[in-house]
Structure 1
Amino acid sequence: MATPAVQSFVEEKWQEAFKNLNRGEPGISGLMTISEAWRIASDFLRPRPLSEPRPRYNAHEIKAAFDMLAHTKLLYTVLENFLDDMHQQEYLIKQEVGEYMSRYEETDDPQVIAELVYRLVDWFNAWHPLAEYEFSSLPSIWRADDQNELSTSLGHIVTDHFTVAFHTHIYSILPPSFSRGFKALVSSTLPISYDDMSDSPSPDTFVWDSFFALGLVERYESLIASVCYEHIEDYIREVCAGQWSERMLADVRLWMDSRMLPWMRLPYARGAKDLNEATKMMSGVKSRFDYHICKVLCDLRTSEIFDIIIDFPDSKPALEDLKECLHRVDQRSILVASLRKANKKRLLHPGADTKDILAQYVSIIKCLRVIDPPGVLLYKVADPIRRYLRDRPDTIRCIVSDLVGDSENGTSLVDDNDPLVPLASRDVEDYTDSTWEPEPIDAGPDFRTNKPGDIISTLVSIYESKDLFVKELQVLLAQRLLNVKDGNYEKERRNIEILKVRFGEAALQVCEVMLRDMTDSRRTDQHVQSQKPSLLHPVIISRHFWPTLQTGTFILPQRLRAIQEDYSREYTAFKPDKKLVWLSHMGSVKIEVELQDRTLEVDVPPVSAAMVELFSERDRWSVDELIAQMGRIDRPSVMKGLLVLVDLGILKEEETDHYKLLEVAEEASADPGASRSAAMDELPGVQTAQQQQAEQMRVFWRFIEGMLTNLGALPLDRIQNMLKFAPGYDRNIEQLGMFMEAARREGMVVAKDGMWRLNR
């Protein structure tokens, strides 16, 4: 039981509330007025099925009802009831959404999603409190003012709450598959053709108005952006893939401005009054999509970079596009990683020829200088290539052959238009230079000392010293000089002058001595021939200035030895202080072979000439018998000499390692003379620089063997320090390591945990 005081307080408050609701009217007439206002407002706001038309209302009556509810603070209560009614009627929309989505999942047709969106807009308009058709019965003279007044009184209260509530209900109804269908619908509104950029089709504004009405643009903003991104990616792959002979970035941006921007105004510049206002509204969006253009094109060119380099210089426009994209998109590290991976897979493997690797390396140098003139990218990409080339035994020879114009395939690593400059030296930075710039931020700590110079300097810098190149130059020049038949040495003389510019005068002094020996040899031969004509025309060289010639002496037949001895006597008479040492395995002999049905005049190696002499004595010989007759000669040399005579049709192999003389010619083989040409075209047997180093290292093997015998297992640096006391030892630890590895392969030593010991 409440106390009298509480009862009195409650009664007082009741009377106060009643007077407030009754508005001071007599009896309960005020309550009846509020009840009628409640009925009118609730019925006006009640959500109905689309099949049930909304009744017509007088604007004055509706305005008065809402004003009374607002005055009595019951407006929010009416609104809450309205939102509850919406929730109860939600099943009507849910049924239709289920039907449309079932159709879409069966057909995957985005037009079904469009129909669903239009249907949801119909529901939105049907339930909207201030739909325009509600007041169509108002007189035209004052309808607009009254409607605006009503919209003003209800807009911020009812309309906003309705819109948020309706969107919330819709989002809770839509299944997950709707986002896929919505994306397909948005994609269907994009410009279709990639080629025609003349006139853009008129965008479908009605569907975008529907999107905005349902709040789908804000909800699926990232999805709409992804549609644009994917469309840009498809266009760039379709138009730019494999197109390297012209710049494509400007064309893609033109396509973006003419085809995509009119469409992008719908989601990103809604409400813009003119083009200028739309451009300002889309400035940030356009910058974002331009960034994506650069990124996609950069990704495409990065994936094609190996083939772009192969196609250089025709692909230079693609490299310029890539350079511009890299300024906008920081993907330099990705480019380096991609090119290094492609090089490892397609270039740096045993199946690739050294000449091809060098040609690709030169193209990489030229291409990366277009993309990154400071050379940071080149420094990072070239390191694995340089290490791989350093381990290949014929790298130096390939570079040197190209320097003297002796390339086998007719191509050159160096452009003939490039200026001749000395090998680049490691200069100290000149910080007083007004054009000096700091190193790029991604340059490594050793970048400054490894800046790329011209192409030749870069290739020579693969090795720590240019001495190896100079020695290989001497070897190659010796081979070329000994291979000259007509006495014209102008090409070699020109090569020496060119190489002087690059390697210096001192490095080419030995080469000048070799060239002088060739001209002196011709004059000496002319003098000897004038004293006593001879069939022999030898090349006389200075032993101390020429590279070591490969050994392979053998015993010539008596008639050939007699010609040599006669020539030696005449030479000694001309130069009493010198003596000739014959290298009988080198050179060529012009012989005339008389057989029963034919006579042949051919140039053959001395080994083959000696065999012809032996077969003139006996028709059949075995390989072992020939070796025994010819003295100090290895089996491969004998087989090579026999092969020349077999190709000429002079000899025939009866059975394995047994040959007979063909007095009567037999039917020629399918490819006669191929092996003979290969044998005759070989360069004279001069030891390469690597072979000379290997021979010199074998001299020091006795010292190494003594160390390992007396001291046991030793690390490589200890062996290197002790070898420095050996006379004439000038190798570095890397060269020693290569020699020890070769000895290990031959089974002479064993390596374990960095310690070397003899293999006993």
Structure 2
Amino acid sequence: MASEQLWSQVAEKWQTSFNRLNRNEPGITGLLTFSEAWVLARDFLRPRDIDEPSPKSTVNRQQLRAAFDNLAQRRMLTALLEEFLEDMRWQLPHITKDIEGLMKQYEATSDPIFIAGCISRLVLWHKAWAPFPELGPTVVNAFTNTFQTHVFSVLPRSFSHGFKSLVSATLNPEYATEPPVWITTLFPQSGPPPDRWDKPLWQAFEQLGMTERYESLIASVCYEHVEAHMIETYSKVWDRECLSEARDWMSQHILPWLLMPYAPNAKTVEEAAPFISGIGTRLDYHVCKTLADLRTREIFDIIVDFPDSRPALDDLKKCILRVDHRSTLVKTLRKENAHRLLHPGADTKMILQQYVSIIKCLRIIDPQGVLLFKVADPIRRYLRERPDTIRCVVASLVADHESGDSLVDENDTVQPLQQAQVDDYSDLNWEPEPQDAGPDFRTNKPSDIISTLVSIYDSQDLFIKELQVLLAQRLLAIKDGNFDRERRNIEVLKIRFGEAQLQVCEVMLRDMTDSRRTDQHIQSQKNNDTTQLHPTIISRHFWPSLQTNTFTMPGQFKTIQDAYQKEFKTFKPDKKLVWMSHLGTISLDIELDDRTVSADVPPLEAAIIELFSQKDIWTIDELIETIGSIERPAAVKALGTWIELGVIKEEDANTFRLLQVADAAASSKTTQRPQAMAVEDEVPIVTAQQQQAEQMKVFWKFIEGMLRNLGSLPVDRIQQMLKFAPGYDRSVEQLGQFMEAAKREGLVSVKDGMWKLS
């Protein structure tokens, strides 16, 4: 049983509450007034189905305001709010039903108009249930939070995708001038038309709290629109700078669009700048990243198209300064080079040309050379393994710019070969190496293209020897006695390699001019037997080795050679001529019974047809025995020339007969002169690689003895011991290549870097 003290406390509190509600009015008059105000306010706030007629339009606004003031004076608005929220929870299934119905239609059609319909319907619910603002922020915020919490809790996963499609529609160029019909239908405006057709839609998003909730999704729509525009507009566009153009497009089309989601109350971009500065910075970053990705995917073709693609490289340089894209560029270009360049089907000259373009392009993007250092390493290693790399590089040094064989521009300044130097830290302009530089990187790598190509190998000796071989071929191929071009080439090469390295080349050039003067002197003598012979006389010790296939010219050719040698002995008694009978070209007129056949042929063909002047029928073995020092395939090839011209005919196996009278089958091949049809394209000079291979065969005996006596050895130890061999001047790299070649032939094997005899 309650004590009197408890009864007293309850009675006191009841009286206090009664006084507060009755407002100290006589009797229960105040309580009745409160009751009427409570019923009126609760009935006005009670959530109803929007499809039913609303009684709110018939309510007297003055009475309603007085009712809410009455409740506020009695501090009962909090209780009214709790009652209102409880009524909302009972009515929320109506909203859920509407959402589920419209979302099912969207999921069946993927048409964003149903998303717009869903949002329009939610706006109607929100408008119908929302308390008027005069109730204060507490009531309004409580309603908004409850309404949005319920809406977001019942939206299916597909709503995000639909919402994104709906936002994307606001960027559709199709609606740039005329708004879509569904906007005016679903979001009717009572006042004047808005300045932007999508403004009612964004106002609905803001009212429902979707702008804040789906901010990242709205930004992704913007990013994807930028990507699509840039890929469609700037793919394969390398003849102009596109970055500034893309930024202007973004300022004109994207930033004004951002006003609604991020600064709805701003009228201009300037007013909205404080609100959209963050998203604007992220968009600029995305523009640079998108363009960098696009140009990185196209980088191989951009390099192929250089220098016409220079603007694309400038764009990529600016983007890389804004976006950390260096490693991706290196990885992509290395992958493209391995797939499209560094394979057996690519010509060495093409690889070198692309390598030179890579050097020029990457120096534009990264002047410090870190990217070039990382990209060039696989190319340099691959070129080092190709046997004709040195020859192609050397050929480019003496090539004509008009022919397109040169790897350097005609306007480039000729400068000596540059060597990598040690960093000079006392230099006031010294800069540290970039952060992404590897341990082997050096900032002061050779910047000259030719220096970079020559630095593929450790030594310049191979290039000098190949230069001598190539120059010898070019000099021996000159028929008109004009050596000015080769003289200019030698002067240029002196600047690059130094005068000491080119002394042998000067001797070869002097031999050619001396040979021409000597021939002119001998031809001026009264002996007419020499006027038909114009040899090139060279110094044996200063020229590269010529391929030896010397044979004795028969008949009249022998007589002319002897007469010329006699005159030469008289003119230069201290010199001796050694004829290289397999070199040169001979012009012949072959007089037969019914025709005369004219031809320019190599000396071997001339020697063979000369033997047919002695007798009409020869076997191939007799021809080889008579001429001597020739191989059977060469003799068969020479006979094939005269068979094709219809001068001789193969009677049976290995037997040939002179056709004094042409066969019917050969009657069409009469007196037309073939232009040196069987002459070799190049003078048969032993190349530097061939000379090196022959010399290494001598040193193989030393290597074989080492491995037999000492067992397994590393290549460095073999190199140290070979230095004691007479004339050995090879590098460790060249020795390693030779050992690899010996391994392919089965002479040696290697395990863990140790070489041993197989």
TM-score scaled by length of structure 1: 0.90
Against the structure 1 CA distance between its residues 355 and 409, is the aligned structure 2 distance closer, same or farther, given a 3 Å change threshold?
farther
Q: Hey, what's the Cα distance between the residues in 2 that align with 1:194 and 1:204?
A: 10
Answer whether contact 2:38 2:67 (CA < 8 A) is retained. Answer: yes
**Does the CA-based 8 Å contact 1:272-1:278 persist in structure 2?**
yes
Moved more, 311-320 or 200-209: 200-209
Aligned residue identity for 2:54: P
Say if 1:282 and 1:748 are closer, same or farther in 2 by CA, change over 3 A.
Answer: same
Q: What displacement does 1:19 show?
A: 4.0
Matched, 1:565 2:562: yes
Query: What aligned pairs does 1:184-223 form with structure 2 within 5 A after superposition?
Result: 184-192=165-173, 202-223=196-217
Counterpart in the other structure of 1:36: 36
Confirm whether residue 129 of structure 1 aligns to residue 131 of structure 2. yes
Q: SS at the partner of 1:590?
A: strand
Q: Match of 2:164?
A: 183
Which whole-Å CA distance do the structure 1 matches of 2:176 and 2:153 have between them?
42
* 1:740 and 2:742 correspond: no
Match of 1:664 in 2: 662
- Equivalent residue, structure 2, for 1:165: 146
Question: Closer, same or farther in 2 for the Cα pair 1:646/1:222, shift >3 Å?
Answer: farther
User: Is 1:385 aligned to residue 404 of structure 2?
Assistant: no
Partner residue, 1:552: 549
Contact kept, 8 Å, 2:645 with 2:666, in 1: the verdict is: no
> C-alpha displacement at 1:109, in angstroms?
2.0
String of CA shifts for 1:524-567, please: whole Å, max 9, x gaps: 22333326342332222111111111222234335433433343
The one-letter code matched in structure 2 to 1:52 is P
Take 1:194 and 1:360, find their aligned partners in 2: how far apart are those partners? 47
Q: CA offsets, 1:280-330, max 9 Å, x none?
A: 322222221111111111111111111111111111111111111112112
The question of whether the paired residues in 2 share the 8 Å contact of 1:269 and 1:281 is answered with yes
**For residues 614 and 713 of structure 1, do their structure 2 counterparts lie closer, same or farther at Cα, with a shift above 3 Å needed?**
farther
1:623 deviates by 5.4
Q: What's the CA shift for 1:631?
A: 2.7
Q: Tell me which residue corresponds to 1:687.
A: 686
2:535 paired residue number = 538
Instruction: Specify the code of the residue in structure 1 equivalent to 2:78.
Output: Y
Question: 1:634-659 CA distances to partner (integer Å, 9 max, x unpaired)?
Answer: 34433543454455444566788776
**Residue 88 of structure 1, CA deviation:** 1.5
* CA deviation string 1:372-423 (max 9, x = no partner): 2222222221111111111111111111111112689634211111111111
CA contact (8 A) 1:647 1:673 kept: no
CA displacement at 1:239 relative to structure 2? 0.9
* Shift, 1:497, TM fit: 1.2
CA contact (8 A) 2:458 2:731 kept: no
2:456 aligned partner, one-letter code: I
- 2:54 equivalent in structure 1: 53
* TM superposition shift of 1:589: 1.9
Alignment: residue pair count: 734
Q: Distance in 2 between matches of 1:99 and 1:673?
A: 94
Q: 1:590 aligns with which of 583, 587, 591?
A: 587
Q: Letter of the aligned partner of 1:735 in structure 2? A: Q
Structure 1 residue 34: deviation in Å?
Answer: 3.1
Alignment partner, residue 245 of structure 2: 251
Preserved CA contact (<8 Å) 2:110 2:162: yes
CA gap of 1:472–1:274, structure 2 versus 1, over 3 A, is closer
Partner SS state of residue 692, structure 2? helix
Partner of 2:203: helix, strand, or coil? Answer: helix
Report the residue type matching 1:509 in the other structure: Q
Native 8 Å contact 2:748 2:756 kept in 1: yes
RMSD between superposed Cα atoms in Å: 3.0
Instruction: Kindly indicate whether residue 473 of structure 2 is the aligned counterpart of residue 485 of structure 1.
Output: no
Deviations 1:680-739 (A, max 9, x none): 251111111111111111111111222233333333222222212111111122111111
Residues 116 and 195 (structure 1), Cα distance of their counterparts in 2 relative to 1, 3 Å cut: closer
C-alpha displacement at 1:582, in angstroms? 2.1
Q: Which consecutive residues of structure 1, in runs of 5 or more, have no partner in the other structure?
A: 131-150
Query: Where do residues 330-349 of structure 1 align in structure 2 (5 Å cutoff)?
Result: 330-349=324-343
Partner of 1:602: 599
Distance 1:170 1:274 in 2: 33
Q: 1:239 aligns with which of 233, 239, 251?
A: 233
Match of 2:290 in 1: 296
Contact map agreement 1:309 1:367 (CA 8 A) in 2: yes
Distance 1:702 1:425 in 2: 35
Alpha-carbon distance between aligned partners in 1 of 2:519 and 2:104, rounded to the nearest angstrom:
103
- 1:361-372 to 2 correspondences below 5 Å: 361-372=355-366
The SS at the match of 1:592 is: strand
Residue type of the partner of 2:522? V
Instruction: State the AA in 2 paired with 1:249.
Output: L
Distance in 2, matches of 1:466 and 1:123, equals: 86
Q: What is the deviation of 1:622? A: 6.0
Structure 1 residues 188 and 514, CA, compared in 2 at 3 Å: closer, same or farther?
Answer: same
**Is the contact made by 1:647 and 1:675 (CA closer than 8 Å) also made in structure 2?**
no
Give the Å deviation of 1:668: 9.2
SS at match of 1:463: coil
- Residues of 1 paired with 2:688 and 2:645: CA distance? 34
What is the aligned partner in structure 2 of residue 515 from structure 1? 509
Give the corresponding residue for 1:707.
706
Q: For residues 486 and 413 of structure 1, do their structure 2 counterparts lie closer, same or farther at Cα, with a shift above 3 Å needed? A: same
Which residue number corresponds to residue 186 of structure 2?
none
* Cα 1:87/1:614, change in 2 over 3 Å: farther
8 Å CA contact retained: 2:419, 2:445: no
Q: TM-score, normalised by structure 2?
A: 0.90
CA distance in 1, matches of 2:206, 2:603: 95
Using the TM superposition, name which of 161-170 and 535-544 deviates more: 535-544
Work out whether residues 468 and 505 of structure 2, in 8 Å CA contact, stay in contact via their aligned partners in 1. Answer: yes
| 3-state SS of paired residue (1:548) | coil
Partner Cα separation in structure 2 for residue 45 and residue 626 of structure 1: 124
Q: Is the 8 A contact 1:401 1:407 kept in 2?
A: no
SS for the counterpart of 1:89 is helix
1:414-459 deviation digits (Å, cap 9, x = unpaired)? 1111111111233455556555544333333433265241221121
Letter in 2 for 1:66: F
C-alpha displacement of 1:253: 1.7
Separation in 2, partners of 1:161, 1:714 = 86
1:217 offset after TM fit, Å?
A: 0.7
Using the alignment, how far apart are the partners of 1:10 and 1:72 within structure 2?
20
1:367 deviates by 1.5
